Amino acid sequence: EVHLEQSGPEVIQPGESLKISCKASGYNFETYWIAWVRQMPEKGLECMAMIYPLDSDVKYNPSFQGNVTISVDKSTTTAFLQWSSLKASDSAMYYCVRGSVGPSPFFDYWGQGTLVTVSS
């Protein structure tokens, strides 16, 4: 059974760094894209970045490039999203999602979400 288990909620002060995680299980981690999706309070869904673990090929949404870094650890089948300096506007729910097989993957499995609150 495919499962994406995300790290717990975070309360962070502005300017601090943060790395959230997504532990994947139940499938061959290396050969499926994995992505991060942001959902701000009462707002829609935005795809931030996507990575192919086998070769670490990465795609960033231009709206997020430079502000976040996506990475994976193949040895622990874990994906990460990190910020070097958070702002209040980064407060949101963040979901990791698995991309389906095929040349144009869609998001077939979702993690439970990690709530990030940036506040002084």
Residues for the chain: how many in total? 120
User: Is the torsion defined by CA of 93, 96, 100, 105 positive or negative?
Assistant: positive
What minimum distance in Å lies between the beta carbon of 63 and another protein? 8
Q: What distance in Å separates the CA atoms of residue 31 and residue 46, rounded to the nearest whole number?
A: 23
Q: Which two tokens stand for residue 45?
A: 């869904």
Which residues would be at the binding site for another protein (CB under 8 A)?
35, 44-47, 50, 59, 61-63, 95, 100, 104-113
Pick 18 or 35: Cβ nearer another protein: 35
Pick 49 or 72: Cβ nearer another protein: 49
Pick 83 or 107: Cβ nearer another protein: 107
